[in-house]
């Protein structure tokens, strides 16, 4: 289930920012917007498009401008910024809030947070946490494995061998992210990140054995907590009546949370080493990202050969 809001207490508990004042209000103040606001125009008195529902971040620029104002004017502007929707004020670079800020925030029961880090760094830390918590989420049946640094989501019907394939990949030195169920959230418009539900973290179900702990059996190198999903592998039962891809000219994708992810269908039958095929698929994906496509080269060379043979035939 997607979360629609986090609390200011959550931000303090899961990031490097600390509380300055108003700790008693942190659990009551919710954050529903991922974006962070730096209230430059608002300090000048322009509030027509004030994003009150966002975390308000004060850096050196905002603080320096506020110091140039008179005490009464500063308090009046800050009082306007303290709305029932405003979750929290955050100060970067170890900057301490003014007495007017503390007064206005305390009257509105809004917590003030701070960090010694730069403004950009504080913004990134809070945004990354809010993206993870508030971004759209979807749970998918499958296995997510880190193969050569490529996040491969293995899908297929129940019992087709997803977990067994992932287990062989782990034995080959790759890393498990999630087995059986993958929780996916949209990090941005182009990126999906997958992780295991808390109850299934580092665990895998192998039919005939039961639940095994991958970290206990293979060590910390065999697991990771999350991974960007770069490639989807759909395992299907081999059928003589199906025309499978032979060259690789078709660029197939699968859409999850409005993000198109490259996908492949790999037929499963006796004698095919699926884990080896997935390793090759991950390496081929990386080659394509670097600009080399073997299928395109084959098509180019084949076209050139046909032209050369055609010219040779005409001369004869």
The 10s digit of each residue's pLDDT in 110-164 is: 999 999 999 999 999 999 999 889 988 899 999 999 999 999 999 999 989 999 9
CA atoms within 13 A on the CB side of 18: 8
**Is 29 found in the same domain as 172?**
no
| Residue 308 counted as domain residue | no
Q: How many domains does the chain have?
A: 2
- Last residue of a domain, which of 114, 134, 154? 134
- Residues annotated within the binding site for Mg(2+) are 163, 205
Max Cα–Cα distance, the chain, nearest Å:
97
Question: Does the structure show a pLDDT above 90 at 278?
Answer: yes
- The mean pLDDT of 83-110, rounded to a whole number, is 97
- 175 tagged catalytic: no
Catalytic residue among 180, 284, 286, 288: 180
Q: Are residues 92 and 235 in the same domain?
A: no
Q: How far apart are CA 57 and CA 274, in angstroms?
A: 50
Residue that is last in its domain, among 74, 104, 134: 134
For residue 110, give the DSSP letter.
-
What are the tokens at 295? 């299928």
Q: Is residue 303 part of a domain?
A: no
My answer on whether 261 and 228 are in the same domain is yes
Q: Do both 125 and 152 map to the same domain?
A: no
Q: Do 97 and 164 fall within a single domain?
A: no
- Predicted pLDDT at 1: 44
Residues 6 or more apart in contact with residue 316 via CB below 8 angstroms: none
| CA 309 to centroid of chain Cα atoms | 51
Which of these three, 79, 112, 134, is where a domain ends?
Answer: 134
Q: Which segments of the chain does DSSP mark as H helices, in order?
A: 8-14, 40-43, 60-67, 71-81, 99-107, 119-134, 162-171, 214-218, 274-289, 294-315
- Answer yes or no: is 304 within a domain: no
| CATH code of the domain containing 182 | 3.40.50.300
Q: State residue 4's pLDDT score.
A: 66
307 is a catalytic site residue: no
List the structure tokens of 253.
């994708």
Average of per-residue pLDDT values in the chain = 92
247 with 275, same domain?
yes
Average pLDDT over residues 287-314: 79
Distance between CA 69 and CA 76 in Å, rounded? 11
Q: Specify whether 122 is located in the same domain as 18.
A: yes
pLDDT of residue 303: 81
Binding-site residues from annotation for ATP:
156-163
Residue 2 has pLDDT above 70, yes or no: no
What percentage of the chain carries pLDDT values higher than 70? 97
- pLDDT, tens only, 34-54: 999 999 999 999 999 999 999
Judge if 130 and 141 occupy the same domain.
Answer: no
pLDDT in tens, 223-255: 999 999 999 999 999 888 777 777 766 789 999
Catalytic member of 29, 74, 155, 162: 162
Q: Is residue 313 part of a domain?
A: no
**pLDDT class for 179, splitting at 50, 70, 90?**
very high
Residue 68 placed within a domain? yes
Asked whether residue 266 is assigned to any structural domain, the reply reads yes
Provide the pLDDT confidence category of residue 3 given band limits of 50, 70 and 90. low
Q: How confident is the model at residue 315 (pLDDT cuts 50, 70, 90)?
A: low
Are both 128 and 49 inside the same structural domain?
A: yes
- The pLDDT of residue 313 is 64
From 49-53, 76-80, 104-108, 238-242, the region with the lowest mean pLDDT: 238-242
Question: What is the CATH classification number for the domain harbouring 53?
Answer: 3.40.1390.20
Active site residue 180: yes
Domain assignment of residue 182, given as a range: 137-296
269 is catalytic: no
- Indicate whether 222 belongs to any domain: yes
Bridge partners of residue 235, in order along the sequence: 156, 266
CB contact at 8 A, 146 and 227: yes
pLDDT value for 17: 96
Written as six digits, the tokens of 135 are 């971004």
Pairwise CA distance, residues 202 & 183, whole Å:
14
What mean pLDDT comes out for the span 157-175? Answer: 95
- In this predicted structure, the answer to whether residue 165 has a pLDDT above a threshold of 50 is yes
């Amino acid at each position: 289930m997607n979360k629609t809001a986090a609390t200011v207490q959550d931000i303090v508990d899961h990031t490097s920012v600390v509380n300055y004042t108003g700790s008693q209000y942190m659990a009551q103040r919710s954050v529903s917007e991922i974006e962070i606001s730096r209230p430059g125009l608002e300090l000048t008195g322009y509030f027509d498009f004030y994003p009150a529902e966002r975390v308000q971040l004060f850096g050196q620029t905002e603080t320096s401008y506020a110091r140039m104002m008179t005490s009464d004017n500063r308090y009046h502007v800050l009082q306007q910024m303290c709305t029932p929707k405003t979750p929290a004020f955050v100060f970067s670079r170890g900057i301490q809030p003014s007495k007017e800020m503390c007064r206005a925030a305390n009257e509105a029961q809004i917590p003030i947070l701070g960090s010694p880090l730069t403004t950009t760094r504080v913004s990134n830390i809070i945004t990354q946490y809010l993206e993870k918590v508030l971004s759209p989420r979807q749970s998918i049946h499958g296995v997510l494995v880190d193969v050569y640094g490529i996040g491969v989501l293995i899908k297929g019907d129940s019992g087709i061998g997803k977990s067994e394939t992932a287990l062989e990949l782990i034995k080959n030195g790759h890393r498990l992210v999630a087995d059986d169920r993958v929780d996916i959230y949209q990090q941005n418009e182009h990126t999906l990140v997958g992780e295991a539900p808390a109850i299934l973290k580092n665990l895998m179900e192998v039919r005939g054995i039961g639940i095994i702990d991958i970290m206990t059996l293979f060590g910390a190198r065999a697991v990771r907590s999350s991974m960007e999903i770069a490639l989807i592998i759909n395992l299907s039962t081999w059928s003589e009546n199906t025309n499978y891809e032979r060259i690789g000219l078709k660029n197939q994708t699968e859409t999850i949370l409005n993000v198109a992810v490259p996908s492949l269908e790999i037929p499963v039958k006796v004698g095919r080493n699926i884990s080896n095929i997935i390793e090759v698929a991950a390496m081929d994906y990386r080659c394509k990202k670097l600009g080399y496509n073997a299928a395109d080269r084959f098509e180019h060379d084949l076209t050139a050969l046909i032209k050369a043979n055609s010219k040779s035939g005409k001369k004869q």
